[in-house]
């Protein structure tokens, strides 16, 4: 069964009196363990698609099945629970809580999951991204690359099926960016589905599959043949 199934999804915003059709009927499926990029020019609807896939938003029409569950009809609180259990977010601006240290930031999803013994899991997640020794540093005491690693640790701490990354290397220099992508590769090897929204063709080139968005539609669905890219 596919992990993600998007069928004829449309999204329309009203801005003032104007209706903006951000998505005009998009359909695709994503299998567990895929490593996939969504590309497209500004205004192509890729951010909207990202928000929908991340359960931050609901489609205006069409259906979105996440792990077999129809997300289109769920309440805000149910969506929050889905995000908590199934999805980890990695943002371009890292989006860490500035007053909390690395460990506390990583613990945040566990807190909302109602898990009490959080310390150990958070430490493990930080260790996975190679930041075990930075656990008690605050975000501003960390470099950009380190902050993004903390964000990745936060994304994986609750063992989600999917990681959604929005321009994850956009605020990093190219070397640090490559390190982050290496972390993603490693995570994908462990079976996590990775979906990246990006402008950067280099990142897209490293992915197994690229969805090209144009004008709110899926223009192209390219499979990069790469050995060992299939899901375990």
Partner 1 sequence: MTLFEGVRSALTSLLANKLRSFLTMLGVIIGVAAVIVVVAIGEGLKADVMQRIQGLGTNLLMISPSSRSGRHGPVVRRGRLTDDDWEAIESKVTNVSAIAPIVQGSVTVKYRNRTHASRVLGSTPDIMTTQNLTLAAGRFFTTSEERSRARVVVLGSTVVEEIFYGRVLLEETVRIKGVPFRVIGVFEEKGGSWGSPDDQVYVPLSTARQRLLGRSTLSTIYVSAASTKVVAEVEESLTQVLRRQHRVRNEEDDFRIRSQEEILTTMSETSAMLTRFLAGIALVSLLVGGVGIMNIMLVSVAERTREIGIRKAVGARRRDIQTQFLIESTALSVIGGIIGGIIGIGISKLVGSALGWTTVVPLWAILVAFLFAAAVGVFFGYYPSRKAALLDPIECLRYE
Please tell me whether residue 76 binds partner 1 under the rule CB under 8 A: yes
Quick one: which segment of 2-10, 16-24, 104-112, 222-230 binds partner 1 (CB under 8 A)?
A: 104-112
* Residue 97: closest CA among 67, 142, 57: 142
Please tell me whether residue 112 binds partner 1 under the rule CB under 8 A: yes
Please tell me whether residue 95 binds partner 1 under the rule CB under 8 A: yes
Strand order in the sheet with 61-66: 18-30, 4-15, 61-66, 69-70
Q: Do 54 and 82 form a contact (C-beta atoms < 8 A)?
A: no
Please tell me whether residue 83 binds partner 1 under the rule CB under 8 A: yes
Residue list 33-52, contact with partner 1 (CB under 8 A): 51
Q: Do 144 and 171 form a contact (C-beta atoms < 8 A)?
A: yes
CA distance 4 to 166: 18
Please tell me whether residue 109 binds partner 1 under the rule CB under 8 A: yes
Please tell me whether residue 219 binds partner 1 under the rule CB under 8 A: no
Residue closer to partner 1, measured from CB, 57 or 146: 57
- Kindly tell me which residue out of 97, 127, 205, 219 binds partner 1, with binding defined by CB under 8 A: 97
- Kindly tell me which residue out of 12, 28, 32, 91 binds partner 1, with binding defined by CB under 8 A: 91
Q: Do 128 and 184 form a contact (C-beta atoms < 8 A)?
A: no
Please tell me whether residue 161 binds partner 1 under the rule CB under 8 A: no
* Residue 122: closest CA among 153, 91, 99, 89: 153
> How big is the CA angle at 114 (ends 127 and 56), to the nearest 5 degrees?
85
CA distances from 32 to 1, 58, 63 (A): 8, 22, 19
Residue closer to partner 1, measured from CB, 2 or 51: 51
Residue 48 CB, shortest distance to partner 1, in Å, is 9
Report the interface residues with partner 1, using CB under 8 A. Answer: 51, 54, 56-57, 76-77, 80-81, 83-85, 89, 91, 95-97, 99, 108-109, 111-114, 116, 154, 158
């Amino acid at each position: 069964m596919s992990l993600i199934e998007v069928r004829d999804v449309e999204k329309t915003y009203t801005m003032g009196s104007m209706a903006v059709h951000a998505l005009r009927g998009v359909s695709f499926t994503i299998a567990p363990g895929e490593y996939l990029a969504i590309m497209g020019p500004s205004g192509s609807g890729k951010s909207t698609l990202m928000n929908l896939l991340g359960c931050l938003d609901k489609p205006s029409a069409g259906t979105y099945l996440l792990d077999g569950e129809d997300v289109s009809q769920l309440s805000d609180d149910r969506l929050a629970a889905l995000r908590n259990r199934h999805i980890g977010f990695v943002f371009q601006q890292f989006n860490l809580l500035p007053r909390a240290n690395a460990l506390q930031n990583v613990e945040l999803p566990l807190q909302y999951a109602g898990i009490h013994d959080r310390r150990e899991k958070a430490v493990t997640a930080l260790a996975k991204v190679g930041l075990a020794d930075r656990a008690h540093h605050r975000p501003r005491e960390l470099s950009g690359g380190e902050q993004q690693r903390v964000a990745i640790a936060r994304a994986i701490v609750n063992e989600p099926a999917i990681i959604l990354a929005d321009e994850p290397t956009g605020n990093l220099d190219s070397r640090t960016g490559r390190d982050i992508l290496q972390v993603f590769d490693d995570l994908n090897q462990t079976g996590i589905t990775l979906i990246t929204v990006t402008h950067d063709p280099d990142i897209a080139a490293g992915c197994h599959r690229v969805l090209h968005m144009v004008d709110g539609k899926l223009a192209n669905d390219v499979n990069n043949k790469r050995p060992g890219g299939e899901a375990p």
